[in-house]
A and B are shown apart, each in its own frame.
Chain A
Amino acid sequence: MQEEPILRIQHLDLWYGENHALKDVALDIPAHRITALIGPSGCGKSTFLRTLNRMNDLIPGIKISGSLTYRGSEIYDPAQDVTPLRKNIGMVFQKPNPFPMSIYDNVAYGPRTHGIRSRVQLDEIVERSLRSAAIWDEVKDRLKKSALGLSGGQQQRLCIARALAAGPDVLLMDESTSALDPISTSKIEDLAMELKKEYTIVIVTHNMQQAVRVSDRTAFFLLGELIECGDTEKMFSQPADKRTEDYITGRFG
């Protein structure tokens, strides 16, 4: 690794009530790389992803201990305001969730939330974000139309544009292609590889081919533990742990 990691997680433990969902997880997420989190259902990979932008705060009865830092500052510091944190760490969900408003208003939602009112500035951000999400050409003539009229794949790219418009430098993608058809999936994968030049990306995926195709680093979770983490190529060719090997060769999962 060349520089300081953007996100550094040390001794992370997480409980849902009595359920110990993440156990002593330690992981560094380097800048301008795609890190893939893989593992069987219920292994804690999505839970882990959602601790990074504190989306788990919404769940009652959750308890978190350990250290998570974003650019050196503690994410779970009581003084940490989640608004700027989530502005910096954007998220794209499993199912496309555009708001029931126009395409333009969807993309402008983040910047408006963070106080940008000028029409000129908003126009500029909306166009740039839609271009970055590779959907500008498809929607530029219908920006005032409802976002709900788009196809599933377009909606997901719109959600990526919406996340980018808030001005993040980390993008979390929670199985963001699992609800999409293969063509839309490959568009989003290409997009992710394009975006890593400017953003740091963490994806959760249950599709190992996808992890191989897009990610630079892979972290394998099992039953709440981080089993192994390393360069994707290396991990899929010579896994260090027997359990990783069993999972990636399809013996369970």
Chain B
Amino acid sequence: MRVSQLPMRRRVWNLGARVLLYLSAGLTCGLLVLLIGTICARGIRGINWQMLTTAESVLRGTVGILPAIQNTLFVIVLSLLIVLPLGVGAAVYLTEYAKNHRLVSLIEFATETLAGIPSIIYALVGVIIFCTALGLQKTLVSGALTLVIMNLPTIIRSTQESLKTVPQSYREGALALGSGKWHMIRTVVLPSSIDGIVTGSILAIGRVVGESAVLMYTVGLSTAMQDFSSLAAMMKASGATLTVALYIYAKERADFTTAFAIATILLGLTVVINGAAALAGKKLKKV
């Protein structure tokens, strides 16, 4: 039946629903475009080569955020390197090995709750455990470890969800060919759930790039160049990441040109990293 043949009342409903749907879709996209547009429009002006490639210099009066970019990348890479094996491992254990269903559902409930906790609480935990109790002080390492704790629930949950979508018949097929359990998981189950793992990593990277509360309290506020040349130096490196730098420029120095420039760089960085993660996922997936 064509729309024009429907009774009047249903045609009005139809039109009403259509308008509402278009409106909500339009509003969402509009807000996104407005946000990105404003940030880029105000930020592009502040970006220049010198800013991207040097540290700030009080003597010469130049702005530079290279240290912040390096710190951000360091924190992302370090926290992912720790959280991925840990989170994927925990998810594999919970879905493939754990026999005690009550314990599993308890852990699942706990991870779900942890995933929803405000990040400032993780910041406090980070300060108490990593900075103070373990004596790491305010360093990038402390920050990365705190982010590991913060992202662990997300990674576990998203990996678990995608492990559950792997058909049981794949597992049976592999076992029936004489494959051991771990071999089956490594060769069939994990490759089939790589999508979920990549999605989880992208979410995690997004949270790391965008996180400010945790980092403000754990990584320190220095805007000077850090030394990444040795392991010992890395352990001591302490300084603002991009979000923290953004806060410093906007709040403490009222330099909004630089703040918006940093915001633009953050946006660009997120897009690049997400693209890379998606590409890596495609490469890892067989065929």
Contact = CB atoms under 8 A, between A and B. Distances in A.
Interface of A: 53, 55, 58, 60, 82-87, 90-91, 93, 95, 97-102, 105, 109-110, 113-114, 144-146, 159, 162-163, 166
A162 B192 CA distance: 18
A86 B287 contact: no
What size tier do the contact residues of chain B reach?
20 to 34
B191 interface: yes
A93 B172 contact: yes
B170 A99 contact: yes
Contacts of A110: 177-178
B287 A109 contact: no
| Most chain A beta carbons < 10 A, residue from B183, B191, B287 | B287
A90 B287 contact: no
Contacts, number: 73
A145 B177 contact: no
Given A55-B172, A95-B169, A109-B187, A101 B177 contact: no
Contacts of B172: 55, 58, 93, 97
B217 to A, nearest CB: 44
Interface of B: 99, 167, 169-170, 172-180, 183, 187-188, 191-192, 286-287
A166 B175 contact: no
A85 B175 CA distance: 11
Given A101-B191, A105-B286, A109-B187, A91 B178 contact: no
A85 B287 CA distance: 30
Given A99-B174, A101-B287, A146-B287, 4 more contacts: A60-B99, A87-B177, A97-B169, A113-B179
Nearest to A101: B286
A90 B173 CA distance: 10
Nearest to A92: B176
Nearest to B179: A113
B169 A87 contact: no
A133 to B, nearest CB: 14
Contacts of B286: 100-102, 105
| Most chain B beta carbons < 10 A, residue from A53, A82, A97 | A97
A146 B175 CA distance: 21
B177 A90 contact: yes
B180 A102 contact: no
A162 B175 contact: no
**Which 3 A-B residue pairs are closest in the complex by CB-CB distance?**
A97-B169, A86-B178, A87-B178
Contact of B177 (A86, A100, A102, A105): A86
B100 to A, nearest CB: 12
15 contacts: A53-B176, A55-B176, A58-B175, A82-B178, A84-B178, A86-B176, A90-B176, A91-B176, A95-B169, A97-B167, A97-B169, A98-B173, A99-B173, A101-B191, A144-B287
A93 B177 contact: no
Contacts of A83: 178-180
Contacts of B175: 55, 58, 86
| Most chain B beta carbons < 10 A, residue from A99, A101, A159, A162 | A99
A98 B167 CA distance: 11
A146 B191 CA distance: 14
Contacts of A100: 170, 191-192, 286-287
A226 B169 CA distance: 28
A146 B286 CA distance: 9
Contacts of B176: 53, 55, 86, 90-91, 93, 163
Contacts of A93: 169, 172-173, 176
Nearest to B171: A58
Nearest to A102: B287
A109 B191 contact: no
Contacts of A98: 173
B46 to A, nearest CB: 47
B173 A159 contact: yes
A163 B177 CA distance: 7
Contacts of B192: 99-100
A206 B170 CA distance: 24
Given A58-B175, A163-B177, A145 B169 contact: no
A85 B176 CA distance: 9
A158 to B, nearest CB: 11
